[in-house]
Amino acid sequence: MFGISDGLVTNVTLILGMIGARPGPGVVPLVGLVALVGGAFSMAIGEYVSMRAQSELFEREIELERNEIRRRPEGEKRELARIYEGRGLDPVMARDLAAEMMRNPDIALETHAREELGIDPKRLGSPIQAALSSFATFAIGALLPLLPWLAATGTAAIAASLAIGALSSIGVGAALSVFTGRSWIWSAARQLFLSTVAAAVAFGLGSLVGVAGPL
């Protein structure tokens, strides 16, 4: 939903800015397609680098923890016992549980990663999957308001683009309410309002600095 929202707002504001600028024929779809491709790749690369860096950080922390377990198992066992005690376990039970976890190196590492570092070693995330997801969702959102310009120009394209942008914003807001638990009407109205403000600012800037010409 967030990727679709980003793509939608990006191209709605861009299209409205171009409409305000009144460029020559064919410029709006060209710029919209360039923004779609550039934005989708930007989102994908940013997501990949972010996830890759996060995974490398987690892998480094897990490797450090593995070395600590191997070099000073008793110290790590005491650390784990203190964690369990801090969560309300009886000290004797906490020590027994920590000792049991430390018997198997793999279980010990997974336990320390979860309890001490807050990391699930088996779920570090996939940078490639995240990048592809970001690319696809942004592209979908950016394509929606651009569709009319691929088949028409002028007033018809403007009206259709505005209608698709508004309806899509309402749809994104309503869909987000499923996850947030808020009223879908409130969520949709918020999304539509924010998108409208962004588009209005872009239209105003386009009108101020644009070049007059037929759409």
| For residues 70-79, average pLDDT | 85
Say which amino acid occupies 100: E
Q: State whether 183 and 78 are in the same domain.
A: no
Q: Given this model, what pLDDT does residue 41 score?
A: 94
Residue 75 sits in the same domain as residue 140? no
Statement to judge: residues 18 and 43 lie in one domain:
yes
Residue that is last in its domain, among 73, 90, 117: 117
Domain end among 117, 144, 162: 117
Establish if 214 belongs to a structural domain.
Answer: no
Contact 94, 85 (CB under 8 A): yes
96-146 pLDDT, tens per residue? 888 888 888 888 888 888 877 777 777 777 889 889 999 999 999 999 999
Q: pLDDT, tens digit, for every residue of 192-215?
A: 999 999 989 988 988 888 765 445
List all residues 6 or more positions away from 97 whose beta carbon is below 8 Å from its beta carbon.
81, 84, 89
How is residue 85 written in tokens?
Answer: 């005690």
The answer to whether 65 and 112 have CB atoms below 8 angstroms apart is yes
Domain contains 211 = no
Domain hosting 101: range is 56-117
First-to-last C-alpha distance (Å) of the chain: 31
The answer to whether the beta carbons of residues 133 and 7 sit under 8 Å apart is no
Q: Would you say residue 88 lies in a domain? A: yes
Residue 10 and residue 39 in contact, taking contact as beta carbons nearer than 8 Å = yes
Q: What is the mean pLDDT of residues 89-99?
A: 86
Element (H, E) at 73: helix 73-86
Instruction: Give how many domains the chain has, as a whole number.
Output: 2
Q: Are residues 172 and 193 in the same domain?
A: yes
Domain end call among 117, 145, 169? 117
Shared domain check, 187 and 143: yes
Same domain for 36 and 132, yes or no, is: yes
Same domain, 72 and 137: no
Q: Is 213 within a domain?
A: no
137 and 194 assigned to the same domain: yes
Residues 64 and 46 placed together within one structural domain of the fold: no
| Per-residue model confidence as pLDDT tens digits over 51-61 | 899 888 888 88
154: left (phi over 0), alpha (psi -120 to 50) or beta: left
Long-range contacts of 189-197 (CB under 8 A, 24+ apart): 191/5, 192/166, 194/9, 195/8, 195/9, 195/12, 195/165, 195/166, 195/169, 196/166, 196/169
Q: Are residues 35 and 61 in the same domain?
A: no
